[in-house]
Chain A
Amino acid sequence: MTGGCSITKSYVYMKINSVRWKPPSSNFSKADRFVTGSWDNECNSVCLWRCGSEEEPKLLQELPHAGDVTDITYISRNTLAVASSNGSVSIYEHGDQPDNELTLSQCWQGCHQFPSGSAAPCTSLASEGGLVASVGEDARLLLLSPGQQLPHRVIDSGSDSSEYAVAFVKSNQVLTGSMQGQLRLWDIRSSGNTPVATMVTTEQEWVRQVSNHPSQQHVVAAAGEAGTLTLWDMRNTEQPFSCIAAHSAP
């Protein structure tokens, strides 16, 4: 792509944890709105911004949010799910034109909880085909579908350590990464609590994020705490096929 990219900035006034572009309303238009979630403030909020092609981002709307925002994902063109550090997952919807305002449409309160009853932060979200998968520090994988009150399926991962990252590999398989450096693949159609496969890196570092390749769904990248990036091929889960030391910090 020729031409330089221009950078515009504007001040946000709070620490932002998550930024997502809103999928454009039709296949041919460019995305010009994005949503941000803040953390570590006394009152956190979810904000909607508009950003034209050469202008500064402009704040359109700000909604208060309970607890830190830990992750945001878009479920469909107009619905998004927001994960919070008080253990709940909320669904927001964009209204109709002209300004696509956000309204809170549903909230699963406290769906992540420690056995003692206190709330566990929900750490990551992924969505595929209308289903939302969420993992939290209570080491459980929940499958939620918007419109239903209770989670569709709860998978207890059987380990104590927090799960940190989740991604859909195929429409029925979910990959989660945990704090101890293990990646586990779960089949959500089968019952039972055992993973289909478990992959461990030698360094046992905390997997912060997991993401799949945009076009080749069986290639998965896992980001570790010490700054290394590990690439796995899901068809051959014995060894990662590439390991890159990318940064010096997570």
Chain B
Amino acid sequence: MELEETLANKFYVIKHQESKNYKGHFAQSVGVYGLAVYPAPLPSIPASDDANKAGLGVVQQLSPKSWLFNRHSRQLVNEAMNTFRNLQSIVEDATPSEGEDPLDITPALINKSREYRSMLQACVCSLNSDLDDLNPSTEQYQEMAGQCQLLYKMELLLGLMEIIFVDARPGSLILSQLVCWVRLHYPSCTENMVTIIEEPEPAEHGLYWQTVSISNLFTYWQTVSTSNLFTYWQIIYELVCQGRLSDARQLLHQHPHSHSDAFIAMEEILRKMPTYQAYSGVSEGEFLVRWQHWQGECVMRLQVGEFAAWGHLKKLAEILSGNAASILSVTTLSNDVGGRSGGSWVPHLLASLLFTQPNITLHRLHDAATRAVAECRANLSDLDNILLTAMQGDSLQVIRWCQKTLDNLWLSAHLTDLLYHAVTSQQSTYPLLTAMRESVLQDYALELADHPSLWQVGLVYLDYCGPSGLRDASPLTSMLLERVPLTSDAKAHKVISMAEQRNLDDVVRGVCRVMGRRAANEGRLAAAIWWAVRAKDAPFTSHTAHQVLHRYLSSGEFQSSALLLDHLGPAMLLSDTLTFLGKYREFHSLYLRGDHKRAADLLVTLIASKLAPQYFWPVLLLDVLPLLQQADDAPDSEEGQEVVVSAAHTYELMYCLNTVIENVKRESSCDKGSEEAQHSGLLRAFHERETELRSCLAHNLARAIVMEGSTDAAVSRSNISAA
């Protein structure tokens, strides 16, 4: 399956029936990548069932689906995030402070690149193991098989990028790295070798037709698949083309005629082939000389005719001598690459490099590759284009190709990041690459943010998007956090903790307000206050506290908020209204406990301090009434009347009473409608007992003045007597 096919060109058909009012469908974007599609005009009357079935009365929500969100790819997303984060912290640790030399992070980069590749391989493995359980004809099987192929190709690309950009050793020979790369990805020859060696007579595969008589063989021969006939030698050719000479020699040993001169000569040649090791003490020039000497010997033996008796050995010698035609005939006949056309020229490239140009360097790789492609006459698929662009060394173009051909940005994002760090660690700057990295990472984070479960992962990527040294969260983070759907308390708390980690106080306040409002709508005002206090949000706290007070006005009791207010502690000071509420509740509890003196003190201080909102004064005055009356009821007790409310405070209370009455008169004269409101619950009680209140206040004032006057007199007399 080609890379192009994975660009699912799927269309979604919107069903509708022609009706009189139908004017087409509109679409509007919803979320990050979703679309809401609805018919125009919007039906103004509730749609009947028929209209619903026709899709007319319905708003449809579409969102793009990507293989990244499948079950098996989840591990890719999560593990990649981990690796990404580790990489950023390694880079940060390695950034030099002033005056120091930068540490070399190339080994770390190579490590991370290998981690990405191993993730891809692990994903392929798990997909394969699940594929075994599925029926091959279902669509799900096709989809998973396609995904497997895609991941395999991604890993192929990543391997090449590692060689060219991350592990780049400019000017040095890269053949050994290329050999490793190809060996990893085209393993069919070793697999075949293993199957063949297990056979009792491996060489029989190719030589069957020589040893058995033709008459009774004819029918059998037709049933044997043609691939078996030349499998043995084909495998040897492929092994040699991949540079696995020791394996080839082992297989040659299995041949019944391996003791003949030709075979021994071939084995000697294979054994003597020089390979370049980076630190083996052999310089490049010397290696090249040795290699040319070896190939010269090979050519000479071929010309002398040592292998004339064995056609296969002759072909093998031709390959070793660098005969292009033989190499081509071998590499294009292999079965495994015949099935897919992407990357099929790669083994050919390797073989021709091994035997014609072992001193290949990065700069010449692209030319060699184009030559190989031309010789193979392969149709260039997208994967081939990307590989060729990589060999040209154009990292930006590679990333652009990746973005164009893949339907999600997993590979692009991580590849860009890796390349960016590789480039910066080599002391060069590439401003285009920096800009591209930021944009790709942001896009990838946005893709993830739309997913109900992976939004947390997306936010981690946004943290590392900004230019280094900028510690603040990007504005995109706060936008995304605000828009996470808050389905339950637990999710709200998760969002809040993420926002707090990034010092996004606005977001915290916003989320708390949403949750508080929801609670308030349900009537759970104490929870609303708790949310408001949590966010230290003064305006919202006041608003909710007012709502609690209004509820108290209409129902006369605190209901559920009592428990919260009892234990509010220092958080009470957040807003004046809340402080008042808390103190008022304290007054209630003091009164209920029987501690009237303190309760009265508290109440009067509350009134005098004008903390209470004006609409609540009637209630407070009503509460003062029993306290005043209590003093009234015991006028003749011998201990002397306890005047609970002092004169000064009584003046205050009278002032309040007058203000309230004036307000009532003013409001009732200009606004008839508020009369209803005033006659609800406690306010009605207040109006009924207004005269009672006035008389009690007057009595109290009288008594208080007398008491204070006499106390003062007593004190002053005792002072005089003491003096």
Residues of A within 8 A of B (CB): 11, 13-15, 40-42, 68, 70, 85, 114-116, 118, 121, 123, 137, 139, 158-162, 179-182, 198, 200, 202, 204, 206, 225, 249-250
Contact = CB atoms under 8 A, between A and B. Distances in A.
A121 B493 contact: no
Interface stretch (B273-281, B411-419, B459-467, B556-564): B556-564
A160 B524 contact: yes
Given A13-B75, A206-B493, A160 B453 contact: no
**Chain B contact surface mostly:** helix
Contacts of A123: 489-490
Given A137-B489, A161-B524, 11 more contacts: A11-B126, A13-B74, A40-B453, A159-B560, A159-B564, A160-B519, A180-B526, A181-B567, A204-B569, A225-B493, A250-B493
Contacts of A206: 493
Given A137-B489, A160-B519, A14 B453 contact: yes
A225 B534 CA distance: 12
B522 A114 contact: yes
A116 B453 contact: no
Contacts, number: 85
A70 B522 CA distance: 22
B71 to A, nearest CB: 4
A249 B203 CA distance: 67
Contact of A161 (B75, B530, B569): B530
- B487, B489, B493, B568 — which one has the most chain A CB atoms within 10 A of its CB? B489
Contacts of A250: 493, 497
Given A158-B560, A158-B563, A159-B526, A179 B489 contact: yes
B74 A161 contact: no
B189 interface: no
B523 A116 contact: yes
A161 B530 CA distance: 8
A114 B530 CA distance: 17
Contacts of B72: 13
A40 B560 CA distance: 31
Interface string B445-487: 0000000110000000000000000000000000000000001
Nearest to A198: B563
Interface size classification for chain B: 20 to 34
B683 interface: no
A137 B515 CA distance: 12
B25 interface: no
A155 to B, nearest CB: 14
Interface string B189-230: 000000000000000000000000000000000000000000
Nearest to A68: B488
A179 B529 CA distance: 12
B523 A115 contact: yes
Given A11-B75, A40-B453, A160 B567 contact: no
Interface string B556-596: 00001101100111010000000000000000000000000
Contacts of B526: 159-161, 180
Contacts of A204: 567-569, 571
The 4 nearest A-B residue pairs measured at CB: A160-B524, A160-B526, A160-B527, A160-B560
